[in-house]
Amino acid sequence: MAVDKYFDELETMSLTEREHYQSEKLSQFVKYAYKHSPAAKTLFGKSGVLPEQIHIIKDLEKLPVTRKTDLIEMQKVYPPYGGLLMIPAEDVERVFISPGPIYEPHQKASIKWFAKSFYAAGFRKGDVVVNTFTYHMSPAGVLFHEAISHCGATVVVMGTGNTDILVKTMHALQVTGFVGTPTFLATVIKRAEELGYNFKLDFSLKRAWFTGEMLPTSLRNTFEDNYQVSTAQAYAVTEPGGAIAYECSEKSGMHLMDEYVVEIVDPQTGKQLPYGSIGEIVVTPVHNRTWGLMRFGTGDMSSIVTGKCPCGRTAYKLAGIAGRTTDAVKVRGMFVVAKQVEQIIAKYDSIAKFQLLVTRKENRDDITLKIELKNDTVDKDVISGKLSQDFQDVCRLKIDSILITRWGTIAEQSPKIVDERRWD
C-alpha cells in the first residue's frame, strides 16, 4: 500500500476481504446492539429475528428500515435517545441536535475514519484549512474539524458567519483548503473580487471539499479551470454519524466507507436492489458503539457503481445523489427520479419546460415525456429521437412517446413527474 496515497489499509482491500470484513463487523454490531440497546432488542423482537440470524448484508432485509420520522417518535416515547443508547448516559461525551428535533449522542473524538474523505481530497500536514460548517448544534463543524486534524492539517475554526471576515481571514492566513458547500465557495470568490482582489493571484487556495450540496459540473469546472482549485465532494448523513462516501482523484462517483454498511433498497419494500439500480440509500454504522441505529433510511436516491477505480481504492461507489424518495416514481420495476430527467433536459437549449407522465395501459406502465420548445424552428423528429435515446441511457427505461406541446401548456409550478396510474 502506498502510505502517502491512502489513509489506511482498508481502502485497498480485495473484494473478498471487504466482504468478510463487513460481514464480521455487521455481525458484531447487531449482537452488541441487541445486548445494549433496548430499542434494537425491541426491533428484533417485532421482526421475529435474532441477532445470530444476521450474518451477511443480505440478511439485513429481515429488519425494517428506520426513518427520521421513526427516530422522532422513538425519542418522544423513550426520551431522550429513543432507547438506542448503548452506553451509560453519564458516558455520553457530546450530543448534537438535528431537525426534528433528534438528539444524537456521538462517539468520542478519537474516531478517525472521517479523515479518509479529506485525505483522498489531498489534505495534508502543512495545509491551512478553513472549515465553514457550523459548530453549533449540528455535528458537521466538529466532526469535520477533527477529520481535517487527523490529516495533519491546521484548521481555521470559522463556521458560518460574515463573508467579508472570511475573505480577509483566508487572505491573511494564506488558506490552502476550503471545507463547505460549493455555492458558499462561489459566494466567497465573488465577494473577494468585489472587494478588489484577484482571487487566483492574491489567494493561496488549492483544494476544496464539499458536502451538503451536490457539485454541478459547471461549477466544478469554474473552480478548477478558472481558479485552479482542486475539488472533491462527499456524501454525509448526520444520523448514522457523518461521511458515508467520498470522491477520489478520479471524480467519478464516491467510494463507500468500510465503517458503514450501505444498501440500495426499494423505498416501498425495503428490499435490496441489484447494483446499478436506483433506490434509497440505507445505512448501518457498524463501527458505532454509542447508539444502535440499524438500517437508517436517508431518503436519498442513488445507485452503486461497481468495477475497478484507477485510483487503487477498491470500495464500490455511490453514483451521486439522484434525488429524494419523494421525487421518485417506480415504473416497470425501476425508479425514475425527477433529477435524472432534469439532467437529460439540461442538455437541450431548445427545451423550455418538461413533464413526465406515467399512465397504465393494458396492464403495462406507459411513459410520456411532455416538452415545450422555445421556438418552432427545431427539427422535432431529431430532438425526439435524441431524447428517447438519452432517456433510455440514463433511466434504463424505454420511453413510449414524446409529446411536444404549445408554449404555456406546462404550468410554471407543475410537478416534474405526474403518476396518473390507478390501482383500484
Q: What is the rounded CA–CA span in Å between residue 45 and residue 205? A: 53
Q: What is the rounded CA–CA span in Å between residue 263 and residue 254? A: 14
Cell numbers for 240: 448514522
What would you report as the CA-atom Rg of the chain, rounded to the nearest whole angstrom? 23
CB 11 within 8 A of CB 116: yes
Cell numbers 422535432 correspond to what residue? Answer: 380
pLDDT of residue 51: 96
Cell numbers for 80: 431522550
**Residue 51 preceded by cis peptide, ω within 30:** no
Which range has the worst mean pLDDT, 63-67, 195-199, 235-239? 235-239
HSE-up (13 A, CA, CB side) for residue 211:
24
Backbone angles phi, psi at 393, to 5 degrees: -65, -40
Q: What is the rounded CA–CA span in Å between residue 332 and residue 321? A: 21
Q: What is the rounded CA–CA span in Å between residue 265 and residue 282? A: 7
Which range has the worst mean pLDDT, 93-107, 234-248, 338-352? 93-107
Number of neighbours of residue 169 by Cβ within 10 angstroms: 15
Q: What is the rounded CA–CA span in Å between residue 45 and residue 30? A: 13
Res. 3 pLDDT band, cuts 50 70 90: very low
Considering the entire predicted model, what is its pTM? 0.84
pLDDT of residue 419: 87
pLDDT of residue 335: 83
CB 329 within 8 A of CB 335: yes
Closest Cα to residue 185, out of 152, 227, 240? 227
pLDDT tens, position by position, 255-287: 999 999 999 999 999 999 999 999 999 999 999
pLDDT of residue 110: 61
CB 261 within 8 A of CB 26: yes
Domains of the chain in sequence order? 329-419 (3.30.300.30)
Backbone angles phi, psi at 403, to 5 degrees: -110, 115
Q: Bigger pLDDT: 113 or 231? A: 231
Residues 6+ apart with CB under 8 A from 102: 68, 71, 72, 75, 239
Cell numbers for 338: 425527477
pLDDT tens, position by position, 280-302: 999 999 998 898 999 999 999 99
Q: Are strands 128-131 and 154-157 parallel, antiparallel or unpaired?
A: parallel
Q: Bigger pLDDT: 135 or 50? A: 50
> Where would I find the H helices in 124-174?
140-150, 163-172
Closest Cα to residue 231, out of 208, 255, 204, 254? 208
Query: Taking all residues of the chain, what is their mean pLDDT, rounded to a whole number?
Result: 91
pLDDT of residue 74: 94
